[in-house]
Structure 1
């Protein structure tokens, strides 16, 4: 297959790019969040240029955050240094090729919910739990562009109403992301360990998997952190599944893929939803975003149909 171009997944901890013809063959870099929006745009450009993208080809950029895809702007992103930033146009200038901007959850949603194994489901919900938390909804096999965006971002649903609730990266207190994201799980466990004067072997290298193992070993601090994360995730995702009337729920993102929390969360959700929904693991693992972006880039017919008339494409 002749490729259409290159794709990139821009997240709070890593930038991952690939040729659109083979998204499973990717390269990754730590996200440059320290040097401002232009520096990160340069890094994204370099990640796409790695695949020798040429004039006339297409680049699809799947970014975290609240996006205006029509204008190609990242309005805000709690884990990225973008504030109303014209990312699409900046990359067009740097690369000299066509650039399309989509949400990372949107890309992953169309990859997961248009897959042939799930085409029996007209309504589906995809949830990603990683550095951030996002979701996408398909209704009658069409992407719901409003679900999970703006004020309806799953990661920024307020789940803790206490005045001293955890502070989220967006600046508000009590958001789901402040308890259920991978970065928050690690941060909260490290903070509780510091308060209790419990030394950590390598605090800078701590992972969610480490916290899960500590929880399984009976560590009280880890049990508190994991218990909070699972509890808040269960409530928020169950509510989202009811609102979307989904018959299938797909759980993806790094926390679900690597940390061993898929089955505990799945069991809680089955109880919360009354087992009325099929709860499945991501087909593409941590590569869901790249696979979705590649399908958009290659103009896969099922994905184009799912994106529907509201998709702006090359406009």
Structure 2
């Protein structure tokens, strides 16, 4: 990355801070290659805490100028008006993704809001803090069409889609993820929003070994598939996604919808569309959801793909 481009970063951060709502948001998305020389830099706003991520090791000049600029940022009116309290630099390229607190004291477990819903985050211990910000409009989409529906949330992680679905009036949500610790955080998220726990089910199992249990709890009016691009020993996207798609006709109610997602820069929308034609031809592609405008990307196919099938 190029230190001479950092003034653009700070100019953009200041502009975004001036207008950001009192919610968590991405302020700067260098990963979309819209900002030459800053491709491995992102910045997230967690309602008072600023998390700056470096995805590639940088030289001392870049790091020093980045830190100096962030410290100066705390003297600006936008920082004071938004009640900024902490700035953290997370070195995502390094083993364990170590975090460096630059300003203030880090609250590692803040409760934040998105579109009126509360989420418990966990900062600094893992690469991801508990909610994927580029999926904001996907959660809104689920909330808007969940009323009265049975929802299946595959690769549920911390149950962000589940929270949106129950808030939108879903009758039942089944969350499936082999990471029981993530599902436990999902339970916390539902409690934070005072949801009826009887509407929510959690299956801490390997999806590919649990189709019987999943089917027993269905059929489903809405199925969400949001897998990792790769999970060692459990999921390889291009190989395993099709195994899920071929199960959909048995799980989906007549007229039901599927939100199928891919977040690998090398796997394009056509992979999902063609695979669905091959594995579940009764379902047809309807449209792709927009990504949040702050996640600007020079190549739309390199960014999050969230496709609706029916």
Q: TM-score, normalised by structure 2?
A: 0.36
Q: Which one has a larger percent strand, Structure 1 or Structure 2?
A: 2
Give the TM-score, by structure 1 length: 0.36
Mark the structure with the bigger radius of gyration: 2
